[in-house]
Amino acid sequence: MEPKARKTGTAGEEPKFAVGRNIKAQRKSRKLTQEKLAHRAGMHPVEVGRAERGLRDMRVSTVVKLARGLEVPPMELFRGI
């Protein structure tokens, strides 16, 4: 069995962890709660939390919703991948 990828931004990190880290950083820089971002993105707060922790692979449409809620270009959420 392969070891899980680290969540610390190291080489070889799974993309879903990097995207989640970027979502969280953008949300915090805008002083938004997960609940507020979820409302702005048309999502449930639990979905936002799972996305930030990299617990799910997101569809492109979900990344776009989050980017719109954060008012950033979607590519900003893929930074560092």
The whole-number pLDDT of residue 52 equals 98
Does residue 23 sit within a domain? yes
- Res 31 pLDDT > 50: yes
Q: Count of domains in the chain?
A: 1
Closest CA to 40 of 78, 74, 71, 72: 71
Does residue 6 sit within a domain? no
Does residue 71 sit within a domain? yes
Tokens of 64: 């776009």
pTM, 2 dp: 0.84
Over residues 18-34, mean pLDDT: 98
Q: How far apart are CA 12 and CA 73, in angstroms?
A: 24
Does residue 59 sit within a domain? yes
Q: The domain containing residue 61 runs over which residues?
A: 15-78
Looking at residue 63, which CATH number applies to its domain? 1.10.260.40
pLDDT single digits (tens) 36-77:
999 999 999 999 999 999 998 999 999 999 999 999 999 999
Residue 35's CB is within 10 A of a number of other CB atoms, namely 12
Does residue 61 sit within a domain? yes
